Amino acid sequence: MVNRMQFYIDGAWVDPAVKKSTAVVNPATEEAMYEVALGSKADVDKAVTAAKRAFATFSQTSREERVALLTKVIEIYKGRLKEIGAAVSDEMGAPLPMAEKLQAGAGLGHLMTTLDVLKNYHFEEPVGTAMVLREPIGVVGMITPWNWPLNQIACKVAPALAAGCTMILKPSEFTPTSALIFAEILHEAGVPKGVFNLVNGLGPEVGAAMSEHPDIDMISFTGSTRAGIDVAKRAAPTVKRVSQELGGKSPNVILEGADLTKAVTGGVMHMFNNSGQSCNAPSRMIVPLSKMKEVAAIAKAVADKTKAGDPRAEGTTIGPVVNRGQWDKIQGLIKKGIDEGATLVAGGPGLPEGVNKGFYVRPTIFADVTPEMTIAREEIFGPVLTIIGSKDEADAVQIANDTPYGLAGYVTGASVEDAKRVGRQIRAGNVNLQGVPNDRTAPFGGYKQSGNGREWGKYGLEDFLEVKAVAGFNAA
């Protein structure tokens, strides 16, 4: 039985300083499933005290000790994959098979990748007469979102443990159960007291207290750009490191000569995955103007086969979006697209046919979108694709980069050489060519207002390390 009314602090489950809770709502039914405790500054203070005390010893552990610890975490995590998947499905609406394989699986993938990195990473490097040491940064505050809960928790916690840091995690209040299971896994694996702490709560209370805390050395935040700005402002007076993975409005450039059916079909399916609730979703499909009608027809065929429905029902392609607030925002943007003159190719406002409850969004496609339209500029975070026409390759690149965001980009051409040429010109932290997915050993993160710092692989480990130069270390 998952303990939702206590926090995990200093190796034990403890009551909140002040009793306060919120309902966790199933987005498929709109019904409250249970309550989860909400924390306060007092709970954060308690967790930070434990983490600061634990850092003195955990920071001095050997690589071998941390390898053994991560190996144990992985072993236990594998045994709870199905349970994690079910929790994610219930709390944020992902179809159950997808939640088990991709949502829970992403967490396992990051744990395993980090373990491989740790086994071979060089924490010491001779530079002239100096030795450059890479040491754990200290106590880390982690704030994670609801859309890929285990992906984001694991790609922060795993490298922080590998680096020798101690930490306080504030998961999203919309998806608390998978995080609580993760805390149970770490406890069972024997993570030392105070190394990992979990405090549930709201951003303006727990998140703000963490960002401002003088004894937290780093904040690792994933969420909206708006919230990320607030975190950075609150963190500034203590000059702590702030690593952020924020919003996106990622371009998907399809060039002349590309296999249209394959590229458009793959792009639409990727956009609709997880109900469009991915920060790196390919939400702006940029195609040659002359191919607009053909592209729209292919995209419509994919949308028509995309079934929004019960996450536990067979044949469901996408589930609901996470909550009423997100549903209302998406509906407003769909209406805005219609009002501003985009061509509605598929979907539209309201619930899907045959659905009378739940936060379901009709898989929606707009064609003939121009770059200045609201739906081409704002992150919608739902299953809504905008198709924009470009005059030529240079125009496609200009449109792709005409955004305050820079998390991801996608390019498909007649050849990988065509895709490479355009990919090099896109201002984004991750660019995918010819439909090839991300590699967990490569860095993940954004340019511009999509954030700073990098996660995944050795780059994620280095985010949690300080660099110390010791002159004279190698002097003869």
Mean pLDDT of all residues in the chain?
97
In this prediction, residue 476 carries a pLDDT of 63
Distance CA 375, CA 231 (A): 26
In this prediction, residue 111 carries a pLDDT of 98
Residue 440: pLDDT over 90: yes
Nearest to 355 by CA among 329, 332, 321, 385: 321
Nearest to 224 by CA among 450, 456, 453: 450
In Å, how far from its chain's centre is CA 144? 8
Answer yes or no: are the C-beta atoms of 432 and 445 closer than 8 Å. Answer: no
**The model's pTM:** 0.97
- Percentage of the chain beyond pLDDT 70 is 100
For the stretch 404-432, pLDDT in tens is 999 999 999 999 999 999 999 999 999 99
Mean pLDDT along residues 96-124: 98
Distance CA 399, CA 77 (A): 43
According to DSSP, residue 323 is labeled -
Please give the C-alpha separations between residue 342 and each of 282, 294, 332, 346, 385, in angstroms, as whole numbers: 18, 16, 14, 12, 11
In this prediction, residue 354 carries a pLDDT of 87
Active site residues: 245, 279
- Percentage of the chain beyond pLDDT 90 is 99
Answer yes or no: are the C-beta atoms of 263 and 254 closer than 8 Å. Answer: yes
Distance CA 209, CA 407 (A): 27
Q: How confident is the model at residue 475 (pLDDT cuts 50, 70, 90)?
A: confident
Cβ–Cβ contacts within 10 Å for residue 304, how many?
Answer: 12
Compute, in degrees rounded to 10, the torsion defined by CA atoms 309, 314, 315, 318.
Answer: 40
Structure tokens at 113: 């990748």
For the stretch 181-226, pLDDT in tens is 999 999 999 999 999 999 999 999 999 999 999 999 999 999 999 9
According to DSSP, residue 204 is labeled I
Torsional sign, CA 178, 181, 187, 193: positive
Residue 285: pLDDT over 80: yes
Mean pLDDT along residues 57-77: 98
For the stretch 348-401, pLDDT in tens is 999 999 899 999 999 999 999 999 999 999 999 999 999 999 999 999 999 999
Residue 177: pLDDT over 80: yes
Distance CA 64, CA 249 (A): 41
